[in-house]
Amino acid sequence: MPMTDWIERNRGHILVLIINLAVTGAALFWIQRPEEPQLQLLTSAAETPANPTPALPGTVRVDVTGAVINPDVYRLPTGSIVKDAIQAAGGPTADADLARINLAAELADQQQLRVPRVGETETSPITGAVDPRATTSASVTAIVNINRASIDELASLPGIGPELAQRIVEWRVTHGDFKRIEDIKQVRGIGDSIFERIKDRITVK
């Protein structure tokens, strides 16, 4: 049989075979070709800006002990005073001697604030970390200058209270500074009995 007749008769099979060989060859080439290295984008930690931690408002930690309702460690805003710490601790107890402390003194971080009781004698130093900048301790008796004291400071004196403190300030405005501590008895409502209670805790200097 002539070759041309055979090719003509099997042309379809031959075409299918050629296509199969081409597909198989292309597949083998694709599988065996060397892999191209993948590019990796590495970003160092230094190049990646971290989200900044929001700054906490300034605070001080104060250990409030002694004659308060809930003695504990409290975190208060920077600039808080002794009075704020006592209020945070639930307020003073009935036997608290607030006249012996300066309620307006500013608190320092890690300070221990001890509120004394009436009739209590301080026999041991305050414990705990106290900032050396803190010039006033809660257990040290505060002497009140009646010529310069605020209403709150005057009201902290035994037997005075807010009303008499207001009268003292008004007397100063009208008459000027007190010359002697005894002159405070010229304020209406302050007699000998109250003066005896406060005379060791006031000054005019």
Tell me the H-state helices in 113-201: 151-155, 161-175, 192-198
3-state DSSP assignment of residue 176: coil
- Report DSSP letters for 31-62, one per residue: HHSPPPPPP-----TTTSPPPPPPPPPPEEEE
Q: Convert the pLDDT of each residue in 123-158 to its tens digit.
A: 433 333 344 444 444 444 578 899 988 998 899 898
Q: Convert the pLDDT of each residue in 113-122 to its tens digit.
A: 989 988 876 5
- pLDDT, residue 141, reads 55
- pLDDT, residue 168, reads 94
- pLDDT, residue 158, reads 87
| Whether the Cβ atoms of residue 181 and residue 146 lie closer than 8 Å to each other | yes
Counting DSSP H helices and E strands in the chain, the numbers are 6, 5
- pLDDT, residue 45, reads 45
* Residue 104 clears pLDDT 70, i.e. is over it: yes
Question: Which residue reads 């006033």 in tokens?
Answer: 136
Q: How far is CA 156 from the centre of its chain?
A: 27
Contacts 24+ apart (CB under 8 A), 126-129: 128/63
* Residue 82 clears pLDDT 90, i.e. is over it: yes
Fold type of domain 144-205 = DNA polymerase; domain 1 (1.10.150)
- What ranges do the domains of the chain cover? 57-142, 144-205
Residue 116 DSSP code? P
Least confident of 37-46, 83-92, 171-180: 37-46
Contacts 24+ apart (CB under 8 A), 192-195: 193/159, 194/159, 194/160, 194/164
Q: How far apart are CA 189 and CA 159, in angstroms?
A: 10
3-state DSSP assignment of residue 149: coil
147 or 57, higher pLDDT: 147
What's the Cα-to-Cα distance from 112 to each of 24, 65, 138, 194, 196, rounded to whole Å?
87, 7, 8, 31, 31
Q: How far apart are CA 61 and CA 15, in angstroms?
A: 91
Q: Convert the pLDDT of each residue in 60-80 to its tens digit.
A: 899 898 899 999 999 999 999
Q: Which helix (H) or strand (E) holds 24?
A: helix 11-32
